[in-house]
Amino acid sequence: MFRNQYDTDVTTWSPQGRLFQVEYAMEAVKQGSCAVGLKSGTHVVLATLKRSQSELSSFQRKVFKIDDHMGIAIAGLTGDGRSLCKYMRNECINFRYIYESAMPTGRLVRQIADKSQVCTQRSWKRPYGVGLLVAGVDSTGPHLFNTCPSGNYYEYKAHAIGARSQAAKTYLEKHFESFPSASLDELISHGLRALAASLSEGELTEANCSVAVVGRESAFTLLEDAGVAPFIAALKEEEGAGAMQEPAAEAPAEQAEGAAAAPEEPAAEGGAAPMEAD
């Protein structure tokens, strides 16, 4: 994207009917680290990559708890994500104080979408440069929502946002039919596999990823480092077993090719040679 005369203000339309600053904010989401969300009939799982500025710095957290029944994963500007996280926590506290019950997930997501949309029509504001994956459980079951800087929001069975998220989406599209009946461990494994597909270099480790789980009978729980290590180890074992099976499958094929390329046996003794038939 390049600077032009129509992107100096969020309320300025281009002749093509575009708001460039909103598009820039959505591009910031695409540049953020990948976040994956998927749900079953009982649980919702969030998996995120944690980035570090250098080898000397710690990793930046991308998952935040909102309430016992809800949490978010972010991609984009972390500061904007923390600001929206604070707002969501306050709304949940106020709702619980007034109604003495947990706030419905869809209601809070609509409020976030409305808050984001206001920033697209005020000249003294700028859009939030962050996308949210909101995981929550309420009386209607588990939910997974995605909010955009434009003010749009969608509910998904599984979704991925951030850099190279298309590879994660491809994996989710291949396996989403098995998610509703999957166990919690299987759901976490699917999330980590989708997250690993988005890596351009290196490998998935317990240090650079985090997983969050919320369910009907379990509060929002964040798994990091030692908590996610068993799932990473199981993932590596599966990859190692698959690598061992590939050479074993290639060996019979090579033997078959060798048998097909073997020279024909000479004619039996006593038989007339072709040149001696005359």
Q: What is the pLDDT of residues 195-244, one digit of tens each?
A: 999 998 888 888 889 999 999 999 999 999 889 999 999 988 888 776 66
How far apart, in whole angstroms, are the C-alpha atoms of residue 88 and residue 37? 19
For range 5-14, the mean pLDDT: 88
Q: Which residue spans within 139-228 are E strands per DSSP?
A: 141-147, 153-155, 158-161, 209-215, 221-224
pLDDT > 70: percent of the chain: 86
Mean pLDDT of the chain: 87
**The pLDDT value given to residue 1:** 55
What pLDDT shows up at residue 9?
A: 86
Identify each DSSP E strand in the chain by its residue range: 35-39, 43-49, 63-67, 70-76, 130-138, 141-147, 153-155, 158-161, 209-215, 221-224
pLDDT band (50, 70, 90) for residue 252: low
How many CB atoms are located within 10 Å of the residue 200 CB? 7
Lowest mean pLDDT among 55-69, 74-88, 172-186: 55-69
Quick check: 265 pLDDT over 80? no
